[in-house]
Chains A and B, each alone.
Chain A
């Protein structure tokens, strides 16, 4: 189970780091590097304090069974949210996340404020960078905390996965110095959604005394089940769309002919 925790935390963090990096880059362009880095570091420190204090409190004060129930519940909420969004994007119900467009929109918004560029600490740049990293990182912090419920050093393993993703994304981002649009964000979100839903089901089940067959190995079977079900849902929605279109066209035509009849 330990490798699965590291992978889930790594993938979830990678997605959020990509989104945060885009906004840190906006802070760098509209202010300067110093402001962007100070804001980002302050946010990382805040997140570390949240994980350290809440993490220790969770693991030491709350009984394991209660912790597994709360964490299973939260992971199911997070997992289903991520999975739903990814399925919607795959089936065309929602637009794919476009880092370049977000970058351009934020640059325009920040420049519209008309703050002069200088080399010192610019309050707007620091705040933009801080807010972006904190908001994107908060979800990762909660995912890392949630894995604390797995017992055996879950928080440490999840934090390791998150840190590895951070190093990778920031390293690549600093090298290319542009929004990371090549990263398949929706695929990552889809995988993370499957993993969080799987862990959520597993742990909430255990908190109610369910003995899963094959013990931890059941996680793989559960993930495969959710993967197949999600693939079927994507296919069903994609196929249904033309039918919905036909139905709405038919109803529009019916309405128009009724209007004609009334006019006649």
Chain B
């Protein structure tokens, strides 16, 4: 494997190692940024705290859900 690819993979594994968590948290930050910077979404600003907390929880549920649905875990159960 290319050494640059190996380095990127090592950094990814060090910080997250889970694509669902990475995508979930990134998406959440993008949504918050849109709410914060777009005037059209200004009405949602009051609820952005709740959106953040629920988003974190949804990410956790999604990544755990993926683990539960993995074939090896189904067999283990």
Contacts and interface: CB of A to CB of B under 8 A. Distances in A.
A123 to B, nearest CB: 23
B52 A210 contact: yes
B76 interface: yes
Interface string A201-220: 10011001110100000000
Interface string A181-205: 0000000000000000100110011
Interface core residue of A138, A208, A226 (most chain B CB under 10 Å): A208
Given A201-B53, A208-B32, A80 B63 contact: yes
A84 interface: yes
B68 A212 contact: no
Contacts of A233: 60-61, 64
Contacts of B77: 240-242, 244-245, 248
B2 interface: no
Nearest to B73: A93
Interface residues of A, number: 38
Given A84-B18, A241-B77, A205 B68 contact: no
A150 interface: no
Given A76-B25, A81-B21, A93 B14 contact: no
Interface string A93-127: 10000000000000000000000000000000000
A222 interface: yes
A240 B67 CA distance: 13
Interface residues of B, number: 33
Nearest to B68: A237
Given A74-B15, A80-B21, A210 B49 contact: yes
A182 B58 CA distance: 34
Interface core residue of A77, A80, A226, A230 (most chain B CB under 10 Å): A80
Contacts of B75: 248
Interface in B33-77: 33, 35-36, 45, 48-49, 52-53, 56-57, 59-61, 63-64, 67-68, 73-77
A88 interface: yes
Interface string A240-252: 1110110010000
Contacts of B74: 244-245, 248
A73 interface: yes
Contacts of A208: 32-33, 35-36, 48, 52
B22 interface: yes
Contact of B48 (A73, A81, A138, A210): A210
B29 interface: yes
A151 B39 CA distance: 30
Interface of A: 69, 73-74, 76-78, 80-81, 83-84, 87-88, 92-93, 138-139, 197, 200-201, 204-205, 208-210, 212, 222, 225-226, 229-230, 233, 237, 240-242, 244-245, 248
Closest 6 CB pairs of A and B: A241-B77, A244-B77, A245-B77, A210-B49, A208-B36, A80-B21
Given A80-B63, A87-B60, 8 more contacts: A78-B15, A80-B56, A197-B56, A205-B32, A208-B48, A210-B49, A229-B57, A240-B68
